Structure 1
Amino acid sequence: MKYFYYLLFALLLCGCQETKKEKISRLVNEWENKEILFPKNSFFTIFAKDTIAFDTVDCDYKVFTYIDSTGCTSCKLQLLKWKGVIAKFDSLTHNNTAFLFYFHPKSAKEIAYILKRDNFNYPVCIDDADSINKLNQFSDEMMFQTFLLDKENKVLAIGNPVHNPKIEKLYLKLAMGESYTDKPILSQTKISVDKEMINLGTFDWQKKQQVAFTIRNEGDQLLVINGVTTSCGCVSTEYNHEPVQKGKNLKIQVSYKADHAEHFDKTITIYCNVPSSPVKLRIKGDARK
């Protein structure tokens, strides 16, 4: 399927080691056109509390995502970004795309808190028994735990649209019935970054922290930011979306708000028209009581 080649190209842009690229290629081929199996008794709730009827039979496409119990749950969920993706799909595909969220949490209480905190009132399935993973044996790679499915639950594409704007573009094009190509449209330019990592030091975990990275367009072409993603929902960004002229600077404002006291090391990923894209920046520090 030609879309899987575009998908593979988008995923390989992450600049990983050769062994990692080989693994990505193998997983893409493994899931191509595979049917996702769903448990017969899946209960969907709002805010992990109120059970509701949830039927996707009228939708031609489904975006399915599975969240396992490993690592930082809030980082994986990125619910505020999912709300934006859902709104965009509802508008552009005329409610013809359903979103299926299956969570296998290490703490049901934590999931309920995050859903309420982010006011995520979309139906989700709290799969305590990890039934859907037992049926399908998903990869432990987070980027291979989200899929675009057709009406028969066959996999059309793989990848997480909230972590990669190229994946979001691919999903949206397919759900709109349009052809997809990933041919470069913009000329490449060069950039410099004032710092690749900022250490916020030690601070009260209840106080929001704000820093800024400065990116300078060192090339002869316009610098265009296609998207900025973060590794955790506790990190948000703001920036001017206008193209950056030659010799001019762009500030990426980064905010961090801890959910609890922790040592953190978070990544900000910038997709833009430079050969090294995506560009990865980091913030770290100690949020203490």
Structure 2
Amino acid sequence: MLRIRRYIIQITKLFIFLLFILILSSCRENNQKKEITEIIKSWQGKEIIFPEGLIFTKYGKDTIEYNIPVSDYKIIMYVDSVGCTECKLLLNRWKKFIHEVNLMANDTVPILFFFYPKDLREISFILQQDSIDIPVCIDKENKINQINHFPSQQDFQCFLLDKQNRVIYIGNPIRNEQIKEMYLSAISNGKYSPSVQSSGITRIKVDQTNFDLGILKKDDNKKVCVIIRNIGKLPFVIHDVKTSCGCVQINYIKQPVAPGNTTEVSLTYHADKTGLINKTVSIYGNMDISPLTINLKGEVVIAEKNK
């Protein structure tokens, strides 16, 4: 009876999740809505097959002996070779999430990364940089994707699996707070309850949301500051700040901002590639315009050699 009850709860959450996705997608094209819905439906309950001969490593370079354990739950993340690996991964957030899962489940829920790499050195570097020491699979032949045919959209290349490796939820808990809550609720058998971060919505005023970084030379750094004033009646709290690229470093104070006071979000752009700059930063909090979107524009050029 308990297993049936859990299954009913999961199905109910799935329909709530589908409704949530449809609401978020209301401003998109109808065919995109349909595509997202079909992805979720088609993967619900689907078994993930782990091919033989997978090689696990530490930090993407040192081979280790590791067998995927039989556990009530496991989380797998597939990372393909398309685009900026560091931008897609957001390992600093994964590190916090892994810690939260381990505390909740007493280290009984394995979190597995499967990389189909275009640059093995890059993966090794970013794993060491963020001290991600869990076993990761470097799947040079892309075996796991060839068997399972994962969705091409990066937001749907992460899965919460049950004991039989069937998909309970699909979606990236690092990029979507509601998906994260659903993962943690399932793992804790419904005991997880997200903390209340604010007692209500307040109003804010921002002087500038569009920044022209101008012409930068490659490897230059450019810093701008977003000043946010709390013009409401409740304390203002920044819950999270997300960027479209790892080339933007973010710093902000996490303490509540009293009505009438200001807080500052510092954004430092590192010009790692030449070309036009078109980056966005999303600031989430208990304000009337959430997320607050900050746009960074400009151009990076090759530095002239001294004549």
TM-score band, normalised by shorter chain: 0.7 to 0.9
Is the 8 Å Cα contact of residues 165 and 226 (structure 1) preserved in structure 2? no
- Residue 286 of structure 2: which of 250, 273, 282 is its match? 273
Aligned 8 A contact 1:14 1:278 in 2: no
1:64 offset after TM fit, Å? 1.0
Distance 1:233 1:274 in 2: 25
Of 96, 117, 136, the match for 1:84: 96
Report the TM-score, using the length of structure 2 for normalisation: 0.80
CA–CA separation in structure 1 for the residues paired with 2:291 and 2:264: 17
Quick one: percent identity of the two aligned structures?
37
Contact 2:280 2:296 in 1 (8 A): yes
Secondary structure of 2:253's counterpart equals coil
Does residue 1:251 correspond to 2:264, yes or no? yes
Q: Which one-letter code corresponds to 1:280 in the other structure?
A: T
How far does the alpha carbon of each residue in 1:127-159 deviate from its partner, in whole angstroms, 9 at most, with x for none? 222222222222221111111112221222222
**Cα 1:51–1:126 shift into 2, 3 Å:** same
Aligned pairs, number: 288
RCO higher in structure (CA 8 A, sep ≥6): 1
Instruction: Give 1:2's match in structure 2, choosing from 6, 12, 16.
Output: 12
| CA distance in structure 1 between the aligned counterparts of 2:27 and 2:177, rounded to whole angstroms | 18
Q: Distance in 1 between matches of 2:128 and 2:277?
A: 23
* Structure 1 pair 180–118 and aligned structure 2 pair: CA distance change class (3 A): closer
C-alpha distance 249-123 of structure 1, shift in aligned 2 (>3 A): same
Q: Greater CA radius of gyration, 1 or 2? A: 2
Q: Distance in 1 between matches of 2:129 and 2:188?
A: 32
Residues 86 and 209 (structure 1), Cα distance of their counterparts in 2 relative to 1, 3 Å cut? farther
Q: Is the 8 A contact 1:78 1:232 kept in 2?
A: no
- Give the C-alpha shift of residue 244 in structure 1: 3.2
Counterpart residue type for residue 15 of structure 2: Y
Q: CA deviation at 1:43?
A: 0.9
TM alignment of 1:1-289, pairs within 5 A: 1-8=11-18, 11=21, 12-13=23-24, 16-19=27-30, 20-57=32-69, 59-178=71-190, 186-259=199-272, 263-274=276-287, 276-287=289-300, 288-289=302-303
Distance 1:173 1:147 in 2: 14
**2:99 match: secondary structure:** helix
Q: Is the 8 A contact 2:59 2:132 kept in 1?
A: yes
Q: Which residue of 1 aligns with 2:7?
A: none
- 8 Å CA contact retained: 2:204, 2:288: no
Mark the CA change 1:239 to 1:194 in structure 2 (over 3 Å): closer, same or farther. Answer: same
SS of equivalent to 2:110? strand
- Following superposition, the deviation at residue 6 of structure 1 comes to 4.1
In 2, Cα distance between the equivalents of 1:193 and 1:44?
Answer: 47
Give the 3-state SS of the residue equivalent to 1:147 in structure 2.
strand
User: Residue 263 of structure 1: CA displacement?
Assistant: 4.5
Specify the code of the residue in structure 2 equivalent to 1:30: S
Counterpart AA for 1:3? K
CA contact (8 A) 1:13 1:277 kept: no
Mapped partners of 2:267, 2:26: distance in 1? 23
Note if contact 2:25-2:33 (Cα within 8 Å) is conserved in structure 1.
no
List gaps (5 residues or longer) in structure 2: 1-10
**Larger mean Cα displacement after TM superposition, 249-258 or 72-81:** 249-258
1:102 Cα deviation (Å)? 0.9
Which segments of 5 or more consecutive residues in structure 1 lack a partner in the other structure? none
- 3-state secondary structure, aligned to 1:232: coil
**Paired residue type of 2:107:** N
Measured in 2, the distance between the counterparts of 1:181 and 1:282 equals: 34
Over 3 Å counting, the alpha-carbon distance change for 1:284 and 1:41 in structure 2 is farther
Q: Is the 8 A contact 2:236 2:285 kept in 1?
A: yes
CA deviation vs aligned residue, 1:218-253 (integer Å, no higher than 9, x gap): 444443333222223333322222333334323222
CA distance in 1 between counterparts of 2:212 and 2:46 reads 44
User: Higher mean Cα deviation, 107-116 or 5-14?
Assistant: 5-14
